[in-house]
Amino acid sequence: MSTSTTPPGAQQRGHTGEAVLAALLAALGVYLLVDAGAIAVPGSSNTVGPRFFPYAVGGLTVLTGAALALRVLRGDRGPAEDSEDIDPDAPTDWRAVGVIAVAFLAHALLINVIGWPLAVALMFAAVAWALGAVGIVRPFLIGLLLGCVVWTVFVKALNVALPGGTVLEWMTSWI
């Protein structure tokens, strides 16, 4: 592989996103400083109460956030995290990120309604679909199989508390 002259994706991206992130970090620091003042200090604590460390962390956070925001605005770029499955030159696929986030949120809310195996199967299918798996039935069935097997192992063998859903709990009640 010859070294290409175009820099990897990290350098090509705009800096607004990271500047916002750094500003948010500084804002988090301000929140820490302000809210630390609201921590109740019991009269008995003589010297250093529960506020001291939060103040220190808040101060460090404000400084770091501000310094990083400045550097980013001046053009400093971090190298995006490498991973075997990442194509650094690919455009960001916001649709996939959105689908996965929504699917995960939905499964979190569904667990106590339809049970973990079914909720996870639906999430599995949606995530696989968003990442380009062919079809929707096969991913769902694989997810359902995975969910049922894992549920059975963890609940029946390891006694982990995990809602199984009416059907599966009835089917496995003999174990």
Partner 1 sequence: MAIDELLGGFADALTPLNLLFALLGVLLGTAVGVLPGIGPAMTVALLLPATYVLEPTSALIMFAGIYYGGMYGGSTTSILLNTPGESSSIMTALEGNKMAKAGRGSAALATAAIGSFVAGTIATVLLALVAPTVVELAIGVTSADYFALAVIAFVAVATVLGSSPLRGLAALCLGLYLGLVGTDVLTGQERFTLGIPQLSDGIDVVVVAVALFAVGEALHVASRLRRGAVQVIDHQGSWMTRQDFRRSWAPWLRGTAFGFPFGALPAGGAEIPTFLSYATERKLTKHPEEFGKGAIEGVAGPEAANNAAAAGVLVPLLTLGIPTSATAAIILAAFQGYGIQPGPTLLTTEGPLVWALIASLLIGNAMLLVLNLPLVGLWVKLLRIPRPYLYAGILAFASLGSFAVNADPLDLVLLLLLGLLGFVMRRYGWPVAPAVIGLILGPIAETNLRRALAISNGDLGVLVDTWFSRVVLVLAALALVGPIVLRAVRGPRPSPAELQHADAAADEDDTVRSADR
Enumerate residues 111-130 that contact partner 1 by CB under 8 A. 111-112, 116, 120, 123-125, 127-130
Tokens 């250093």, residue located: 48
Q: How many CB atoms neighbour CB 50 within 10 A?
A: 12
For the bound state, the minimum distance from the C-beta of residue 101 to partner 1, rounded and expressed in Å, comes to: 6
Tokens of 92: 């960001």
Give 1 or 175: the residue with its C-beta nearer to partner 1: 1
7 touches partner 1 (CB under 8 A): no
148 touches partner 1 (CB under 8 A): no
Among 6, 14, 75, 85, binds partner 1 (CB under 8 A): 85
30 touches partner 1 (CB under 8 A): no
Give 31 or 170: the residue with its C-beta nearer to partner 1: 31
165 touches partner 1 (CB under 8 A): no
Enumerate residues 32-71 that contact partner 1 by CB under 8 A. 32, 35-36, 39-42, 45-50, 52-54, 57, 60-61, 64-65, 67-68, 71
- Binding residues for partner 1, rule CB under 8 A, total 87
For the bound state, the minimum distance from the C-beta of residue 174 to partner 1, rounded and expressed in Å, comes to: 23
Q: How many CB atoms neighbour CB 69 within 10 A?
A: 20
- How many residues are present in the chain? 175
Residues 6+ apart with CB under 8 A from 100: 126, 127, 130
6 touches partner 1 (CB under 8 A): no
DSSP category for residue 38: T
CA dist 166 and 121 (Å) reads 15
CA triple 54-56-61, angle to 5 deg: 90
- Residue pair 75/50 in contact (Cβ under 8 Å)? The answer is no
